[in-house]
């Protein structure tokens, strides 16, 4: 059975990102392992730069060994006021190493990353939708952003600060233009969304998370996000795989 | 009336660029989700009775400060609790 670590409880704002550990165990053969956030925050103040961010990465690697984990999700905002750095770099590196690693202890996002890895070979980029613009011919353009991105998915990247806190190490990466899949599974495994989309450009603006990409998609994707989304975080992975992602009833 | 939600974690200045038309406000409960991290504030408003799940809820999202992200999390919660609503990005 695959073991996934949930390091700290889901962030307080994930009010709809609920999950059922029993269903996940039965259907996906995945065991969720609850780990106290203290196992990371006990690092104490690690310093604000790259060196401090790498100490968080090393601690997560230790926890992966200790609990025999294949992936993890981290209540990362608790690090801001305790270790005074961010988990963005650690998660970016773990994802690049093939260990799905999600932010904010979001379990449905982590499960979706496990699926992304299965269909694409990549953990995928955990994103927030930031802006939606309708286009002609039933098309739309959607801006997605987050402060971490798997380092094996970017052409170039640079370190900056984390958006909301202004501290730590966030990542501004630029992803290759091309075909991607936008996807999300619910934590009760009763809904799945997947759409083949195209990444058309990168951008870098203030007042948004640091890696920012525009995708083009059918207008149905915008309709889904605006009327009946599976909570907030979605996963963007390279290639077109929507046809492989369905729920068996 | 529009209920405006903003998180203190976001230090940037946030506001609505423009107001929706009077009809939209009159016929719906309108919530301006100005930043991310406002989901708990929305739940507080439901508990206080400022927002009712018995009537449609329109969530206004701006194009910055994780406003749309928070609106999506809130909308998903509304549907999980048998309410009705939608997000408007450009109104």
CATH number of domain containing A142: 2.40.30
pLDDT at B10: 63
- In tens, the pLDDT along B8-67 reads 776 666 777 777 888 888 888 999 999 999 999 999 999 999 999 999 999 999 988 899
pLDDT at A52: 94
Give Cα B3 to chain centroid, integer Å. 7
Band (A173; pLDDT cuts 50, 70, 90): very high
Q: Is A31 exposed, middle or buried (0-12, 13-18, 19+ CB in 10 A)?
A: middle
pLDDT at A13: 95
**Spatial distance between the Cα atoms of A72 and A64, rounded to a whole number of angstroms:** 8
Closest residue of B to A128, CA-based?
B69
- Kindly state whether residue A235 falls inside one of the protein's structural domains: yes
Band (A48; pLDDT cuts 50, 70, 90): confident
Do A134 and A239 lie in one domain? The reply is: yes
Query: Which of residues 69 through 128 in chain A touch B, CB cutoff 8 A?
Result: 128
Task: Work out whether strand B85-88 and strand A71-74 pair parallel, antiparallel, or are unpaired.
Answer: unpaired
* Mean pLDDT, range A210-236, rounded to an integer: 97
* Minimum mean pLDDT range among A1-5, A73-77, A116-120, B1-5: B1-5
**Spatial distance between the Cα atoms of B53 and A139, rounded to a whole number of angstroms:** 32
Contact A225 B87 (CB under 8 A): yes
Beta bridge partners of A140: A134, A217
Residue ending a domain, among A90, A120, A150, is: A120
**Spatial distance between the Cα atoms of A80 and A182, rounded to a whole number of angstroms:** 29
Rounded to two decimals, what is the model's pTM?
A: 0.95
B15 interface with A at CB cutoff 8 Å:
no
Enclosing domain of residue A35: 2-120
A15 interface with B at CB cutoff 8 Å:
yes
- Chain B nearest-CA distance from A214, in A, is 13
Is the pLDDT score of A246 beyond 90? no
Is the pLDDT score of A235 beyond 60? yes
Question: For all residues of chain A together, what is the average pLDDT?
Answer: 96
- Kindly state whether residue A219 falls inside one of the protein's structural domains: yes
**Spatial distance between the Cα atoms of A231 and A49, rounded to a whole number of angstroms:** 32
Contact A231 B72 (CB under 8 A): yes
Residues of A in contact with B11 (CB under 8 A): 166
Do A94 and A193 lie in one domain? The reply is: no
How many A/B residue pairs have CB atoms within 8 Å?
A: 89
Contact, A8 vs A106, CB < 8 A? Answer: no
A203 interface with B at CB cutoff 8 Å:
no
Do A116 and A150 lie in one domain? The reply is: no
Closest residue of B to A233, CA-based?
B69
Is the pLDDT score of A129 beyond 60? yes
Residues of A in contact with B39 (CB under 8 A): 12-15
Is the pLDDT score of A248 beyond 80? no
Higher-scoring residue by pLDDT: B12, A55: A55
Interface ipTM: 0.94
Is the pLDDT score of A249 beyond 60? no
Residues of A in contact with B76 (CB under 8 A): 16-17, 229-232
- Kindly state whether residue A211 falls inside one of the protein's structural domains: yes
Q: How many structural domains comprise chain A?
A: 2
SS3 A176: coil
CA dihedral (A106, A110, A116, A117) positive or negative: positive
Contact A208 B9 (CB under 8 A): no
Closest residue of B to A143, CA-based?
B63
pLDDT at B77: 98
């Amino acid at each position: 059975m695959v073991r996934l670590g949930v390091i700290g409880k889901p962030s307080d704002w994930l009010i709809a990102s609920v999950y059922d550990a029993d269903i996940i165990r039965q259907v996906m053969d995945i065991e969720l392992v609850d780990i106290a956030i203290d196992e990371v925050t006990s690092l104490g103040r690690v310093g604000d730069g790259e060196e401090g961010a790498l100490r968080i990465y090393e601690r997560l690697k230790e926890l992966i060994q200790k609990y025999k984990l294949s992936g993890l999700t981290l209540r990362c905002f608790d690090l801001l006021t305790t270790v005074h750095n961010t988990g963005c770099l650690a998660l970016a590196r773990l994802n690049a190493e093939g260990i799905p690693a999600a932010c904010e202890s979001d379990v449905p996002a982590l499960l979706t990353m496990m699926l992304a890895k299965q269909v694409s070979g990549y953990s995928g980029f955990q994103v927030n939708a930031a802006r939606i613009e309708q286009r002609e011919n039933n098309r739309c353009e959607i801006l997605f952003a987050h402060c971490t991105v798997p380092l094996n998915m970017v052409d170039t990247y640079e370190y900056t600060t984390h958006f909301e806190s202004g501290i730590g190490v966030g990542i501004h990466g630029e992803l290759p233009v091309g075909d991607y899949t936008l996807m999300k599974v619910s934590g009760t495994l009763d809904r799945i969304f997947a759409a083949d989309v195209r990444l058309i450009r990168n951008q870098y603006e203030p007042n948004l998370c640091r890696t920012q990409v525009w995708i083009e998609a059918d207008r149905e994707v915008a309709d889904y996000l605006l009327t009946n989304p599976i909570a907030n975080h979605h996963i963007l992975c390279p290639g077109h795989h929507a046809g492989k992602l369905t729920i068996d009833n | 009336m529009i209920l405006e939600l903003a998180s203190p974690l976001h230090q940037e200045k946030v506001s609505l660029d423009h107001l929706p038309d009077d009809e939209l406000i009159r016929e719906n409960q309108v919530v301006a989700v100005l930043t991310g991290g406002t989901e708990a504030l929305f739940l507080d408003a439901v508990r206080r009775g400022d927002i009712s799940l018995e009537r449609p809820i329109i969530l206004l999202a701006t194009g910055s400060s994780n406003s749309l992200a928070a609106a999506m999390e809130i909308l998903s919660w509304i549907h999980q609790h048998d309410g009705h609503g939608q997000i408007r990005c450009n109104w």
